[in-house]
Amino acid sequence: MTPTSSAAGGAIIAVDWGTTNRRAYRIDADGVVVDSVRDDRGVLAMAADDYVPAIATLRERLGDLPVIAAGMIGSTRGWREAAYVPAPADLAALARAALRIDAADVTIVPGISWADGPRADVMRGEEVQVLGAITAGLAPADALFCQPGTHNKWIAARDARIVDVTTVMTGELFALLKAHGILAGMLDGPVADGAAFREGLARGAGACDLGAALFEVRAAVLLDRRQPDDAAAYASGVLIGNDVGARDVAGNTVHLLADGTLAALYTVAIETLGGHVTPVDATTAFIAGIHHLRAHLAV
């Protein structure tokens, strides 16, 4: 359905509705953030009947405005499913496929899918950040992006369109190893850049036998070849090294949509393996993506 003209001009509420967190912004007609709300009301904390009152609460805080929401709100776990747009895709393609909920004055941005040959992949939310980074001049029209997290995304853009996506369960694997299985209880130490992390990085980058490299964490501690407090940093290095090592980063620029510890660790990994990192502020990219997308919603 065609969104109302109110979504295409004037102030709006933009929502990055993730799995565990929610970030909402009041954006004026020029794309400037006037106010914002961040909380833990991600889709895992929501039932289907929770969305209408939750959006009403956002409007009480940010203004009685049209809402454009991206991320997991449009997934099968969210409020209403917004079907994926096949890659290659740009902001105009996302706008054409956006799901309009007229009764609530809400537009849900679809994600992007990749299905070429035997490989399949999907994403929701990251596409707004990537395309927003390009439209805001934070990255060129042809670029490689990395967005670390529970599920790390590697995203390729060509001519300001997303043409490929690869999702790697790096963060989730670390969390599972830490909580369950033979390494549980051994990965409670700090994870930071240092000798142990870089040794793990070197091991993981060249490992096609990831399972063996991970079991070595336990064996090295049992045989006093590694200090117990270093096990978590080493295991993190193995996983991140294996992730980055599978990409063609040598001699290339990677636009990193991250901050904090993960950004620091991935920067070390990418640069150690011969790549160059350009940091991109994910919030700025998201705001730019929604701001430029709403112009297409006027059609």
Mean pLDDT of the chain: 94
CATH class for domain 5-139+282-296?
A: alpha beta
Q: What is the pTM of this model?
A: 0.92
Q: Give pairs for 44-47: CB < 8 Å, separation 24+.
A: 44/19, 44/20, 44/77, 45/20, 46/78, 46/79
Domain pair 5-139+282-296 / 168-279, same fold: yes
At 206 the pLDDT is 82
User: Cα 231 from chain centroid?
Assistant: 27
Per the CB < 8 A criterion, the answer to whether 74 and 80 are in contact is yes
Q: What distances in angstroms separate CA 288 from CA 25, 108, 243, 283, 292, one per listed residue?
A: 12, 16, 29, 9, 6
Place of tokens 């106010």: 35
pLDDT tens-place string over residues 156-193: 999 999 999 999 999 999 999 999 999 999 999 999 99
3-state secondary structure of 276: strand
Locate the domains of the chain by residue range: 5-139+282-296, 168-279
pLDDT tens-place string over residues 122-155: 999 999 999 999 999 999 999 999 999 889 999 9
pLDDT tens-place string over residues 232-285: 999 999 999 999 999 999 999 999 999 899 999 999 999 999 999 999 999 999
Q: Which CATH superfamily is domain 168-279 in?
A: 2-keto-3-deoxy-galactonokinase, C-terminal domain (3.30.420.310)
Q: At what angle do helices 231-245 and 195-205 cross, to 10 degrees?
A: 40
Nearest 5°: phi and psi at 56? -60, -40
| Residue 45 in this model has a pLDDT that exceeds 60 | yes
CA distance 52 to 139: 36
At 76 the pLDDT is 93
Of all residues in the chain, the percent with pLDDT exceeding 90 is 91
